[in-house]
Structure 1
Amino acid sequence: MRILVAPDSFKGSLEAVDFCRISQQVIAQQLPNAEVICRPMADGGEGTVAAIIEGAGGRYHQCTVKGPLGCPVDAVWGQLNNGVAVIEMAAAAGITLVEKTSLNPLKASTWGVGELIVDALDKGCRQFIIGLGGSATNDGGAGALQALGCRLLDADNKVLIRGGEALSQLVTIDLKGLDQRLSDCEFTIACDVANPLLGGDGATAVFGPQKGADAHDLIILEQALTQFSSLLSQYGKDVVNTPGAGAAGGMAAGMLALLPAKLQPGFDIIREHLHLDDVFKQGLDLVITGEGAFDSQSFAGKLPIALANLAKQHQVPVVVVTGCRGDGYREGREYGVTTVLPLCNKPMSLDQAMSNSEVLLQEVIEELCQILKIATLKAC
């Protein structure tokens, strides 16, 4: 029996590499004749760098940068053996870097992401994979552009302070100081949402509340991004209606408008670098994947569904392990998901579930192995 274990991270509780480690250990104990292929996955957010570097080979670099609210953070980015830089914005502007009580998308900035790009430029990188996801920001990528030398000026020709709110005062985008090395670069932006920059389905309306924005903040941030987009169209490309431009607080929009960048589904990037097609062609009996919550929202490009679609093409059953099995989870069967197994085996709080995620996962995989033993006996 060949089993592919390819989960996303469970944000804040269980890394994809730990999911793989625990699953492999349990399966080795329960099904000693099974071959387990581990591929930690990611969708552009946390874990993207590790997934690509561990799966394709490369090395890590560490750089101290400004976090979402300006405090220094030690961020890691990766470099593939062919020189391509792999950066996840969550490492420098991620929501997990800010205490819940301190989340403030009005002031949060992507400046640190720009600093990571500069560090990669200094190390000779000219091709980039930028994973969008898990951000605490709503600044349209303005902070990253500022760190790269772009000057954002108000009516008095003064440089804007960082953060999404300040963009409402934007009058001029000065590109003269933009790092000249960027003209020789190519940016592939890993993006798994189709949200535009503005409107009811845009960056602010959809993602702002989870970053701490209240009703009044949402109005301010939408006005600020509207102003920013009007200037982007003057100095770069008009991307306001581009599907995916609203990803990561609109960071996709800023990069697409002013940098040599293109959007690509995060799963497609991971699939290519981890040679997933080859793994399936060699034959599989089961795929085990997972994410923190699995519900109707998972069908909008989330990793387990993308993986299930691939498995469906090869007629391989898929088990999704999840921390929360929400409304609409059964619809996953239409996409190739065979069953969805929740981690929680009894009533417990979210904090209890997150703090005991490794033990809960071990128990779920043990039970799954028992089911597989029964299936194997019946097949014989």
Structure 2
Amino acid sequence: MKVVIAIDSFKGCCTTLEAANAVERGIRYYRDDIKTKILPIADGGEGTVETLVKSLNGKYVEVDVLNPLGKKIKSKYGILPGKIAVIEMAAASGLPLISEEDYNPLITTTYGTGQLIRDALDKGCKAIFIGLGGSATNDGGVGMAQALGVSFKNKVNQEVGFGGGELKGIEFIDISKLDPRIDNTEIVILSDVTNPLCGKNGAANVYGPQKGATPKMIQILDDNLQYFGSVINKQLSIDVMNLSGGGAAGGLGAGLVAFCQAKIHSGVEKVIELIGLEEHLLDADLLITGEGRIDAQTINGKVALGVARKAKKYGVPVIAIVGSIGEGADIVYSHGIDAIVDIVSEPMSLEKALEVGISLLEKTSERTMRIWDASVKHRNVKSATGILIDC
């Protein structure tokens, strides 16, 4: 029997690799002759770089960059075999890099993300994958573009400052000094966000509050993004206003498309391609996936559904082991997941569940394999005897 383990992280409890190892140990507690294949996976958000570097024998590169407030920090990204760079924008421009009292998308910048891209170009990378989750910014990718040589001048011919509050002052975009290596580099956005740049479903209205934006600030930010989009359209003849996913990471999605000719891809789909999941499904008997919580939102580009859909292509059954089951979770049964198993076996607080989560994963995996193996043996007996039993 071969079991493929492609499970997401359990936030606050364990990384994707820790979760996968726990599942494997649980399987071994039951039977140590079951063949397993761990494929750490992510969806383009937090943990994507770590997942790909570890699973594909890549390496980390450390870089000095500016954080969202323009202060110098150490950041890192990954380089995979084949000169593929993997960047999480949050490593340079994310909320975790600043204190909550400093949240202010009017002044936060994506400049540090541009510095990571530039360093990857310096290292000779020919493809750059960029995850857009966890941003502290709402600057439409202006800071990122500035780090790559694009100039944004105001009406007195001065460079605009950092932050979403500066966009309304942009009168002229000069791309003449944009790093020419961009033209020969594949830039791929890893994101399942479909929000447009602006409007009621745009970057500022939907994600602004979690970045510290007040209602008044949200209106300013949304107006500024709308203005910025119109300037891009007028001066560069690129329509980012109607771009699905343009609002990702405070409009960084739109900025990467406009200035780096980036293509937006489903994060989990691209990661699945990079780790070679399909080749390991060819002879698999079962796929175990999972995440911290499974609910109606899981179908919107989450890891569990991404791998389940691939498994179904090869007729491989899928069991999702999860931290909790939320409202509307039943919808996943029509998208490739055959069963959901909750790791919490008795009443306990969230704090306790997080504390002992790895142990719960091990025990649940052992129980799950016992049940699965029993069902397989039962089917084999029926097949051998020709007896049909109504179960």
**Same topology, TM > 0.5:** yes
Distance 1:194 1:272, change over 3 A: same
- 2 CA distance for matches of 1:102 and 1:366? 45
Please show how residues 1-380 of structure 1 align to structure 2 within 5 Å: 1-236=1-236, 237-281=238-282, 283-379=283-379, 380=381
Q: Distance in 2 between matches of 1:112 and 1:352?
A: 37
Instruction: Mark the CA change 1:185 to 1:373 in structure 2 (over 3 Å): closer, same or farther.
Output: closer
CA distance in 2, matches of 1:105, 1:299: 29
Q: Check the 8 A contact 1:6/1:40 in 2, yes or no.
A: yes
Task: Note the residue ranges of structure 1 that are not aligned, 5 or more in a row.
Answer: none
User: Residue 351 and residue 4 in structure 1: after superposition, are their counterparts in 2 closer, same or farther (change >3 A)?
Assistant: same
Q: Give, as a single letter, the amino acid of the residue that structure 1 aligns with 2:363.
A: E
Larger radius of gyration: 2
CA contact 2:121–2:181 (8 Å) conserved in 1: yes
2: CA distance, partners of 1:349 / 1:100:
26
Matches of 2:14 and 2:104, distance apart in 1: 25
Describe the shift of the 1:213–1:327 C-alpha distance in structure 2 as closer, same or farther (beyond 3 A): farther
- One-letter amino acid of the counterpart of residue 141, structure 1: G
Q: CA deviation at 1:43?
A: 0.9
Contact 1:164 1:224 in 2 (8 A): yes
Conservation of the 8 A alpha-carbon contact between 2:44 and 2:271: no
CA distance in 2, matches of 1:326, 1:273: 30
Paired residues of 1:46 and 1:91 also in contact (CA < 8 A): no
TM-superposed CA distance for 1:45, in Å, is 1.2
Give secondary structure in 2 for the equivalent of 1:7: coil
**Matched AA of 2:116:** L
Cα deviation digits, residues 114-155 of structure 1 (max 9, x gap): 111111111122321222222222222121111112222333
Partner SS for 1:92: helix
AA aligned to 1:107 is I
Which shows bigger deviation, 343-352 or 17-26? 343-352
> Separation in 2 of the partners of 1:77 and 1:192?
20
C-alpha distance 348-249 of structure 1, shift in aligned 2 (>3 A): farther
The 3-state SS of whatever aligns with 1:189 is: strand
Aligned mates of 1:130, 1:178 — CA distance in 2: 18
Of stretches 27-36 and 352-361 in structure 1, the one that deviates more from structure 2 is: 352-361
> What is the Cα deviation at residue 103 of structure 1?
3.1
Deviations 1:277-318 (A, max 9, x none): 11111x222212122332222212222111111112222222
Structure 1 residue 368 displacement after superposition: 2.0
- The whole-number CA distance in structure 1 between the counterparts of 2:118 and 2:317 is 43
Compute the displacement of 1:167 (Å). Answer: 1.6
Deviations 1:201-260 (A, max 9, x none): 222222223333332232122112112211221333111101121222211100101212
Q: Provide the rounded CA distance (Å) in 2 between the counterparts of 1:67 and 1:107.
A: 11
Partner AA of 1:162 in structure 2: F
Distance 2:356 2:26 in 1: 16
Corresponding residue SS for 1:4: strand
Change (3 A) 1:240 1:355: farther
Q: Secondary structure at the match of 2:118?
A: helix
Q: Which whole-Å CA distance do the structure 2 matches of 1:102 and 1:293 have between them? A: 30
C-alpha distance in 1 between matches for 2:211 and 2:70: 16
Distance 1:163 1:22, change over 3 A: same
Instruction: Provide the aligned C-alpha RMSD in A.
Output: 2.2
How far did residue 99 of structure 1 move?
A: 4.0
The residue identity in structure 2 corresponding to 1:178 is L
What SS does the aligned partner of 1:221 have?
A: helix
> What's 2:385 paired with?
none
The worse-fitting range, judged by mean Cα deviation, of 314-323 and 140-149 is: 314-323
Sequence identity, in percent?
38
In the alignment, the residues of structure 2 paired with residue 55 and residue 259 of structure 1 have an alpha-carbon distance, to the nearest angstrom, of 28
Is the Cα contact below 8 Å between 1:55 and 1:273 reproduced in 2?
no
TM-score, length-scaled by structure 1: 0.91
For the residue of structure 1 that corresponds to 2:86, the secondary structure is strand
Contact persistence 1:245–1:253 (CA under 8 A): yes
Structure 1 residue matching 2:79: 3-state secondary structure: strand
The alpha-carbon deviation at position 34 of structure 1 amounts to 1.1
SS of corresponding position for 1:43: coil
User: Which one is further off, 283-292 or 343-352?
Assistant: 343-352
**Partners of 2:22 and 2:359 within 8 A in 1:** no
> Structure 1's 39 and 169: CA in aligned 2 closer, same or farther, altered over 3 A?
same
Three-state SS of the structure 2 residue aligned to 1:292 is: strand
CA distance in structure 1 between the aligned counterparts of 2:223 and 2:123, rounded to whole angstroms: 38
Helix, strand or coil for the counterpart of 1:320? Answer: strand
Q: 1:163, 1:292 → 2: CA distance? A: 33
- Call closer, same or farther: CA 1:205–1:336 in 2, change over 3 Å: same
Mind listing any 5+ residue stretches in structure 2 that lack a counterpart?
382-391
Cα deviation, residue 79, structure 1: 1.7
CA distance 1:153–1:350, shift in 2 (3 Å): farther
Relative to structure 1, is the Cα distance of residues 247 and 306 closer, same or farther in structure 2, using a 3 angstrom cutoff? same
CA contact under 8 A between 1:308 and 1:335: conserved in structure 2?
Answer: yes
C-alpha change, 1:363 and 1:169, in structure 2 (3 Å) is farther
Q: Which amino acid aligns with 1:96?
A: P
